[in-house]
Structure 1
């Protein structure tokens, strides 16, 4: 195998005309925004309106070029070889290969390898070969029958050969593919070896298979398969491999003193297959992964195992302005995965996009379980005959892509779940394709069908319970978890069942500079107003996300809890983001590291109190839960203390024991202060490796309805009338419903700031501005005004609610319900209280 990675010559141009000059260079693997000298804006940027119309991708063409052409030369001195295969691991957007002026072939797929037979045109006598690879410049070059990685939260689609290019030169019979199937019970590995004969004579294949430890090289198993065990695929009634024929060898190798692979101990083996003419190597591990629907758990190597982790959105990260070459820097990628492990994450979802092959190798080596999600995200839009699914993507086409995906990935021990898609409801195509390809994986990994119908009792159901999303009351309060059972919603539209995995939750994203994203801004505005400092937001985000993590883990209704997201993109109008403050050094936000890391500890602790306010002098039972993900029991002290102004005013410690994979609750009686105060309850244990693990809850001790600061907000409001001397003006620039243009100063609602989906989603979903009225078409919308107050002074508010205007033909009036709420904050914009003053109906 010869690696052809490195610096290639590159040119831009048309699809059907090879350039005469290649006057740029670019790295392979990499993307074309890394070229030298730079190309003029490679990669299309769909408009916000286009992001909602993936079926029109043929119109999203790069206006400057149709294609990019890569070129390099190489020499091979192997005159006796009769196999020369080129593998282009992954490339955007489609691949066409030329060798020495001859067109070799095409691969329309963007996420699976392209294999090209160079033998008819290659020079193997040591003279120079010219290799040219063409990729499409934009989504418009992708056939409509092929998946495109469409993501409505992406802003830019940059082309390029983003994974390695290798040349396999050998003799025949040669190995085409090997699937390893570990058998822990019998301490062996099954090897299904696909062979081909490109020679001119019939061959009686004899195959030697050797297993050795990947690090030490120690041989631990070996077998020789005679010709009589050979099973032809294309030719019947013979044990020989005829010219042009293909066949299969199915053998089992016993392994001496096998060592199981796990995230805690990622022990790897190597299988070497020798045909006498060709040698093939692949890594594997002695690892099993199954589900237990009855218990709702997954089983790793036969034992219950809870998934704790995050998501990597590598295609979104590809548009990050600070990305550089980090995606292809092995040390950076390894450090990234080690940082994830340091967060107590044992699993990741490679989400809406496959990273380069190197990432899977590193996950194998570092010990991280991967939910491998195929880059499909459709069904948001009522288009076509299949509810948003592009009609041209048929079951036949998609099954071909899925087959190539599985064949390329099935020996990686890190890959434990085949994930067919993200948040897509369509079952017409996906259900059929999963059924077609499931049997190809002889290890029988479970499948995840996103929000489609779960296809087998042994499959995973995934959920995205975003409790801070617009479907829930603003401002957000942890008290909503008092009504939660621990069984998540927002998942498969039908057929969902255990095991359940939560692989998205939160909705509290902050950009790396500590400012809200476009989705999370209304949350923080409703909590802290428009001018909160990043430090305040980061502290709130980390504490709140940690508390939500603790809740979902402690209820034990889910086999896994995975935060969103570990790696994303950072852009001014971005929707989500990761939690790094420095990308080069991979430094986490310190609040995130402090609070969220403990919430994912393998032996964790949870203050099981979800109230955020209690009356003075309250005596309250406070449960503290110990969550044990390990296969060994926990026994030790559980302490709970109360702090005011950073000083401990009360502490108690009790002993607790928790069974393996279980939870245990210790009850405390907590006496809260007689006077209004802000208290923090902190539970602590000594967990795995005797590390201190803590859980935190901030409690506002005050008389209900008592005022301490100043913010007024309301939800579902249709008309407002007020004014104060120190009110802050509107943050968002609403759009006029008819013209689509920003409303000028004369049209602003005096002193009010709007929030909610009407503002969030580009405003054209129904927001109307008149002289002194704002109409919202969504139930979770409203506006607030903020001003300074003085303790001890009375304040009066006048709000008029109107429900009388019909602006559209055939529109009828609907009942409007809402409320008026006063919230009060200290000088650091920490919320002190929240009181509903009045309601309207």
Structure 2
């Protein structure tokens, strides 16, 4: 019964393809979609299966097969996720084979090309039992000439596409999409498959180069000749408004066709009447049509330019400064999410997702460590979202940060295919070569080989490698909550320039595209990276609602901080879409990913923090002494070109009642800050307070900034700024880590000893004082066996506390009260191959 159904399905598809192909005439091109339900079978790489007993959607992944296969792809244990050299295999099969049939119901044209937009892991194509060719890269389109293998008009063609079952099938000289925080690598044809039929000379590629000042588009056209006689041709270029179809410009050019079997490039500039620019706020699209007389090719574009200004650290959109606000999409992580299903290929769901993102006041996204299906870029063009397009490279834990077999030439081939596919999308504004990989030996060389191909000269982001020319992005991931001792008050000592990112030559423009480290799964459970964070910040008994509220309000405050310092070209939260599971490391912020419902606290607080005209309480202390007074600066952040004027209302709330309320007039010029200062006196008794600033945003709706404050007796840290010395201090490629950084009050600086046991750090408190508590905030390089010692004279030491089982994180050490002028940490044995490293050491009386 199943095979009968499959044969009927194939017949229906063949008729549809035949009718479409029948429209091919002189000078026309037909692009036939081969998407739909295919047959699929598992097997070896070398031989097609004898039977196809399963079906699966194309585009899609092999885990969507009916009936299902047993766990298709490779699974990586938590312990092995930092080992990209393992290239895990699928233990059950080497390959999946996809099969379908189709007909072409007319004489075959001169050109017939099969395009497999994206498939992993590598593709091999057979047509009518004959090998057509292979395309081994996993993230870029494969183009295969199938003309010689097609049967005559009306005959049934059998198409087989083989994909590797796992990373083990990816050649060692190609990238494989490794991600240190993924557990599943599922194969499949995850983007569309098309048959392109046309005459020749024909268009191989068009690169549009918009000129905003001249209100024109330059078309760089790559022509090929599949066998026609060489001779003069007249190229016709027409620009139409994509939505209305109205002709907005045209031009013609007499040229010579390339000789048979060769390619050539020609250029055509087309003025655009009543030109309409593309922006995220007004994503106006055009369609460019190029005719050769034997072929007509079409591509969409926007009249949009994008650059950076190293002097100001800003991005420049259509010649004007522009601030990026946004998030990340980790589509390959979402591929392994339990709720994924067919959602990534559901155009309505994808459009709604991008609209939900825009409802957060986001104008930009990083498509992070992987490329979604092509329809995502089409929708980003239509909805108006700027895309930082990140190639799926994350080899930070490989030797030298890079797999040895991949050369610059190998990587340049993949980069070239990527750029040629994407360069006409107005949404794509940054070529992002990789994530958090510091290797400069291969990636940098590949960037230099290919960057000149993009005639629009978009900037590049080289992850944590060296920026390759002025104006390239320095991306930062200033995760602060992961550090023991984090609290919002620490931000007051930051400059607003992220301190992690490129290892060398970092400089403006800076772009923060990850920060937070406060993830909560959709169901309220915690991913692995934040279990200890919430224990430290809220205690083990905090409720799900407590955590969600803390997450949202703290992330909002961090967003405000990075925006108001105006040191960065953009701030992008991590992440808008990913996976959500207990053994995962991160999560998105939906409670229901199918209906795209945001967690309510996240939507309420974080949305306001990203408002184009926002308000920021630029006061970061979250602990105040009883009866303290303070001047509270409130800033209005204006990302828009138009000036903003209005009132700022500041309220201090206690138990839901306002104990202070005042309003002031503020003006924020276009793309500038406006400010007001408020003088507050805080209660003389212990209290938990909420400080709120409110404005009316550019749309007239209320926008708020919120801080949680605690008024209490504050213990004195006797070690803050004290004289300090250590057994050793490290200076290496990452910087200098002197002892003084352990007592400077800044949780983003640290001391590190040399990489050896038996080290110490000694603090001189200046005079003898009572002490009974020491806190130590460990970097990853923590101690296993260590002690706390005290002394009156710096010579005779007494041990007051020790452990043989240190675990890092935040040490809260208590001992019987004792008078001491000197306090010493003594490290006997390390827990890692590195040294002993402390973000901060504090000493208290109680």
Shared fold, TM over 0.5: yes
Partner residue of 2:703? 693
- Distance 1:808-1:208 versus aligned 2 partners, 3 A rule: closer
What secondary structure is seen at the aligned counterpart in 1 of 2:100?
strand
- Distance 1:124-1:461 versus aligned 2 partners, 3 A rule: farther
Partner residue of 1:630? 640
In the alignment, which of 237, 261, 277 is matched to residue 209 of structure 1?
Answer: 237
- Distance 1:146-1:613 versus aligned 2 partners, 3 A rule: same
Partner residue of 1:45? 75
- Distance 1:208-1:520 versus aligned 2 partners, 3 A rule: same
Partner residue of 1:304? 321
Partner residue of 2:471? 458
Partner residue of 1:232? none
Distance in 1 (CA, whole Å) between partners of 2:184 and 2:708 is: 41
Partner residue of 1:602? 612
Partner residue of 1:178? 206
Q: Does residue 340 of the first structure (1) align with residue 360 of the second (2)?
A: no
* CA drift at 1:675: 2.4
Alignment of 1:175-574 (within 5 A): 175-227=203-255, 239-381=256-398, 383=399, 387-470=400-483, 473-474=484-485, 476-574=486-584
What secondary structure is seen at the aligned counterpart in 1 of 2:154?
strand
Distance in 1 (CA, whole Å) between partners of 2:125 and 2:681 is: 74
* CA drift at 1:691: 1.5
- Distance 1:127-1:804 versus aligned 2 partners, 3 A rule: closer
Decide whether the 8 Å contact of 1:757 with 1:778 is kept in 2: no
Distance in 1 (CA, whole Å) between partners of 2:89 and 2:455 is: 41
Partner residue of 2:84? 54
Decide whether the 8 Å contact of 2:783 with 2:808 is kept in 1: no
Partner residue of 1:661? 671
Q: Does residue 29 of the first structure (1) align with residue 54 of the second (2)?
A: no
* CA drift at 1:777: 6.4
Distance in 2 (CA, whole Å) between partners of 1:22 and 1:815 is: 58
Partner residue of 2:797? none
Q: Does residue 147 of the first structure (1) align with residue 192 of the second (2)?
A: no
Distance in 2 (CA, whole Å) between partners of 1:224 and 1:123 is: 37
- State the superposition RMSD in angstroms: 2.7
Distance in 2 (CA, whole Å) between partners of 1:211 and 1:295 is: 35
Alignment of 1:740-751 (within 5 A): none
- Distance 1:522-1:423 versus aligned 2 partners, 3 A rule: same
What secondary structure is seen at the aligned counterpart in 2 of 1:125?
coil
Q: Does residue 122 of the first structure (1) align with residue 135 of the second (2)?
A: no
What secondary structure is seen at the aligned counterpart in 2 of 1:438?
helix
- Distance 1:484-1:390 versus aligned 2 partners, 3 A rule: same
* CA drift at 1:56: 2.7
- Distance 1:525-1:282 versus aligned 2 partners, 3 A rule: same
In the alignment, which of 590, 612, 624 is matched to residue 600 of structure 2?
Answer: 590
Partner residue of 2:13? none
* CA drift at 1:702: 1.9
Distance in 2 (CA, whole Å) between partners of 1:343 and 1:354 is: 22
- Distance 1:144-1:784 versus aligned 2 partners, 3 A rule: farther
1:753-793 residue CA offsets vs partner (Å, 9 max, x unmatched): x99989x99xxx98689xx98546675354799xxxxxxxx
Partner residue of 1:82? 110
Decide whether the 8 Å contact of 1:522 with 1:755 is kept in 2: no
Distance in 2 (CA, whole Å) between partners of 1:541 and 1:210 is: 51
In the alignment, which of 180, 186, 189 is matched to residue 161 of structure 1?
Answer: 189
1:347-379 residue CA offsets vs partner (Å, 9 max, x unmatched): 000000000000000000000000000011113
Decide whether the 8 Å contact of 2:627 with 2:682 is kept in 1: yes
* CA drift at 1:801: 11
Distance in 1 (CA, whole Å) between partners of 2:325 and 2:826 is: 48
What secondary structure is seen at the aligned counterpart in 1 of 2:547?
helix
1:255-280 residue CA offsets vs partner (Å, 9 max, x unmatched): 00100000000000000111111111
Comparing 444-453 with 610-619, greater Cα deviation is found at 610-619
Distance in 2 (CA, whole Å) between partners of 1:627 and 1:447 is: 27
* CA drift at 1:240: 3.9
Partner residue of 1:833? none
Alignment of 1:670-709 (within 5 A): 670-705=680-715
What secondary structure is seen at the aligned counterpart in 2 of 1:568?
coil
Partner residue of 1:745? none
What secondary structure is seen at the aligned counterpart in 1 of 2:529?
coil
Decide whether the 8 Å contact of 1:515 with 1:537 is kept in 2: no
Higher strand residue share: 2
Partner residue of 1:133? 161
1:189-230 residue CA offsets vs partner (Å, 9 max, x unmatched): 000111111124223222111000000000010111112xxx
* CA drift at 1:837: 5.0
Alignment of 1:100-115 (within 5 A): 100-115=128-143
* CA drift at 1:61: 1.4
Decide whether the 8 Å contact of 1:633 with 1:658 is kept in 2: yes
Distance in 1 (CA, whole Å) between partners of 2:594 and 2:188 is: 23
* CA drift at 1:804: 7.8
Ranges in structure 2 where 5+ consecutive residues have no aligned partner: 1-30, 717-774, 787-800
* CA drift at 1:703: 2.3
Distance in 2 (CA, whole Å) between partners of 1:485 and 1:25 is: 56
Decide whether the 8 Å contact of 2:776 with 2:838 is kept in 1: no
Distance in 1 (CA, whole Å) between partners of 2:70 and 2:377 is: 33
Q: Does residue 5 of the first structure (1) align with residue 35 of the second (2)?
A: yes
Distance in 1 (CA, whole Å) between partners of 2:192 and 2:783 is: 48
What secondary structure is seen at the aligned counterpart in 2 of 1:649?
strand
What secondary structure is seen at the aligned counterpart in 2 of 1:596?
helix
Distance in 2 (CA, whole Å) between partners of 1:256 and 1:158 is: 48
Comparing 612-621 with 14-23, greater Cα deviation is found at 612-621
